[in-house]
Amino acid sequence: MGIYFEVIHKDIAGRVGKLKVGDKTIKTPALLPVVNPHLQIIPPSEMKKMGVEGIITNAYIFSKSEEYCDQALERGLHDVLDFDGLIMTDSGSFQMSVYGSVDITNEETISFQRDIGSDIWVPLDIPTHPDTDREEVIAQMQITMDRMREAKEIFGPDAPLSGPVQGAVFEDLRESAGRAVSEMEFAYCPVGAVVPLMESYRYRELVDVIIAAKKGLNPGACVHLFGAGHPSMFALAVALGCDVFDSAAYALYAKEGRYITPSGTLKLEEMSELPCACPVCRSHTADELRKSPDKQKLLAYHNLAVTMAEISRVRAAVQEGTLWELVDERCRAHPRLLDGYRRLLDRAAELEHLDRATKRRFFYRGSESCDRTEVKKYHEMIPRVKLAEVSLIDAGGPIPSRFAEVIGFKPPFGPVPYELAETFPVGPCEIPSWDEVMVAYGIKGLAALLATNPDTKVTISTTEKWAPQFRTAFPDCEVIV
């Protein structure tokens, strides 16, 4: 058995890959809808037709269910749920975090998950709340680690066990937890106890937590973000290197009459139109949906359909190399998501080494685009270019014939030697009319190039509008207009 993860495409720290467990293979990024055997508002067999390749259910609920426990032990989970795709089971940890304790041991829950035929098992980790004090976090992490070690010892190195990464909001603890989990050779690693962060829109901290956990984890590990299910945050989480999500949101929101869109949630009560291409929205008006006796079920279908569609969109963006654009678009849906996005940009230098070398395009979408990994990478590369003794920087002004060497200028990158003009990122970069922030970044790139060519006599040719910004930045250069 064992769990295998293969990365096929990369973008930022995100990946498109294949997760293999036994004879099951699913595409990642993947969403595993949460299935509660007692409240199956969409049967798993129907989910399969909607593109769902894997689901997650709770082993604790099965073990306590008079109706389902024996059935699952006798017939197996796949038969009971009528789903032949990948089924992951969670332990009783979530119940433990809500009710304080559970009446099962680590070994008991894992044995039960094995015996009902689950494809991916979760040990009894402790989901430490983000606001727990450090001493307590360390104590709880120790217990989680001991249980993971015990799980590996009892069930062997090939058991399809996941290794949750805890550590609340302490970055050093998340990193060391990630490292410990990878040292124990867990290939499937959920980042745990982040639900309270997402529920209170603490996306900035969420970004730090994921970066920290990823730093400790083996880059080949498949990373699951526990409890993340709103499609507005998939692009951001994937950009940080998360590969799998699970969600009860499609069902919970439907119960509350809430309509999920990739950029937020609407109240069905207040909607005049259903702006979506799914079969439910195309065959009902908003009013018909509100009055339907199947409202909750139909809304759950819609919610799951848009969630799955967003997962597809994210996978396509990674494959094409347009994930930054998608993150930018999605994170403008809520100011706190924008905080998360800006935090990702602040820390882009740490992700730069993971990013791919070439992409299909670079669309400038505002000043945030200046902090993208590609701009940083370009600014690090450009000082390696050797300039001639005399050089003209063509920043939009006249080109006198006396210059043998003319270097282009494209903000936010900066100087563009002729040989690089058609290559990524400057070649396929589309920018609107220049703005001050992008020119300032371009100037940074030019300053980096001039610093390594101190003997070159540089003339900058630009327009009246931008000349003052160049003159201030380069007092020793001639600036012509």
Q: Which of residues 343-402 bind Zn ion (CB under 5 A)?
A: none
d(CA 67, CA 247): 24
- Please identify, using beta-carbon distances, which residue of 122 and 323 lies nearer to ligand GUN: 122
Q: How far is the CB of 168 from ligand GUN (least distance, A)?
A: 11
- Please identify, using beta-carbon distances, which residue of 308 and 431 lies nearer to Zn ion: 308
CB 412 within 8 A of CB 426: no
Cα 250–Cα 343–Cα 469 angle in degrees, nearest 5? 135
Q: How far is the CB of 463 from Zn ion (least distance, A)?
A: 49
Contacts of range 151-158, beta carbons closer than 8 Å, 24 or more positions apart: 151/106, 151/107, 151/110, 151/123, 152/184, 152/185, 154/107, 154/110, 155/110, 155/114, 155/121, 157/2, 157/185, 158/1, 158/2
Residue ranges of the annotated binding site for Zn(2+) are: 276, 278, 281
- Please identify, using beta-carbon distances, which residue of 90 and 243 lies nearer to ligand GUN: 90
Sign of the torsion formed by the C-alpha atoms of 219, 131, 227 and 316: negative
Q: Tokens 């990024």 appear where?
A: 29
Token duo for residue 150: 């015990």
d(CA 129, CA 59): 22
Length of the chain: 481
Q: Which residue is nearest to ligand GUN (CB)?
A: 192
Token duo for residue 331: 């994170």
Q: How far is the CB of 127 from ligand GUN (least distance, A)?
A: 3
DSSP string, 164-191: -B--TT-HHHHHHHHHHHHHTT-SEEEE
Which segment (47-55, 170-178, 276-284, 473-481) binds Zn ion by CB under 5 A?
276-284
Q: How far is the CB of 106 from ligand GUN (least distance, A)?
A: 11
CB 258 within 8 A of CB 267: yes
Q: Which does 426 bind (CB under 5 to 8 A by kind): ligand GUN, Zn ion, none?
A: none
300 lies in the binding site for Zn ion (CB under 5 A): no
278 lies in the binding site for Zn ion (CB under 5 A): yes
Q: How far is the CB of 61 from ligand GUN (least distance, A)?
A: 13
Q: How far is the CB of 299 from Zn ion (least distance, A)?
A: 9
- Please identify, using beta-carbon distances, which residue of 164 and 321 lies nearer to ligand GUN: 164
- Please identify, using beta-carbon distances, which residue of 160 and 321 lies nearer to ligand GUN: 160
Residue closest to 362 by CA, chosen among 378, 339, 385: 378
Size of the site for Zn ion (CB under 5 A): 4
* Residue of the chain from 47, 124, 281, 286 that contacts Zn ion (CB under 5 A): 281
Which segment (99-107, 302-310, 445-453, 461-469) binds Zn ion by CB under 5 A?
302-310
Q: Which does 137 bind (CB under 5 to 8 A by kind): Zn ion, ligand GUN, none?
A: none
Q: Which does 276 bind (CB under 5 to 8 A by kind): Zn ion, ligand GUN, none?
A: Zn ion
DSSP single-letter state for residue 43: -
Active site residue 90: yes
Q: Which does 281 bind (CB under 5 to 8 A by kind): Zn ion, ligand GUN, none?
A: Zn ion
d(CA 445, CA 44): 53
Mode of pairing for the β-strands spanning 14-21 and 3-11: antiparallel
Q: Which does 228 bind (CB under 5 to 8 A by kind): ligand GUN, Zn ion, none?
A: none
276 lies in the binding site for Zn ion (CB under 5 A): yes
Catalytic site residue from 70, 79, 82, 90? 90
Residue closest to 405 by CA, chosen among 393, 416, 391, 417: 391
Q: What are phi and psi of 479, to 5 degrees?
A: -120, 120
Count other Cβ atoms within 10 Å, centred on residue 453: 16
* Residue of the chain from 15, 204, 302, 379 that contacts Zn ion (CB under 5 A): 302
Residue ranges of the annotated binding site for substrate are: 125, 193
Token duo for residue 41: 């508002």
- Please identify, using beta-carbon distances, which residue of 227 and 414 lies nearer to ligand GUN: 227
The residue type found at 378 is Y
- Please identify, using beta-carbon distances, which residue of 124 and 420 lies nearer to ligand GUN: 124
Q: How far is the CB of 50 from Zn ion (least distance, A)?
A: 11
DSSP string, 116-136: TT-SBB--------TT--HHH
Q: How far is the CB of 417 from ligand GUN (least distance, A)?
A: 50
- Please identify, using beta-carbon distances, which residue of 125 and 371 lies nearer to ligand GUN: 125
CB 359 within 8 A of CB 321: yes
Residue ranges in contact with ligand GUN by CB under 6 A: 90-91, 93-94, 122, 125, 127, 164, 192-193, 195, 226-227
Q: What is the separation of C-alpha 401 from the centre of its chain, rounded to a whole number of angstroms?
A: 50
Q: Which does 69 bind (CB under 5 to 8 A by kind): ligand GUN, Zn ion, none?
A: none
**Residues with catalytic roles:** 90
Question: Where do contacts with Zn ion occur on this chain (CB under 5 A)?
Answer: 276, 278, 281, 302
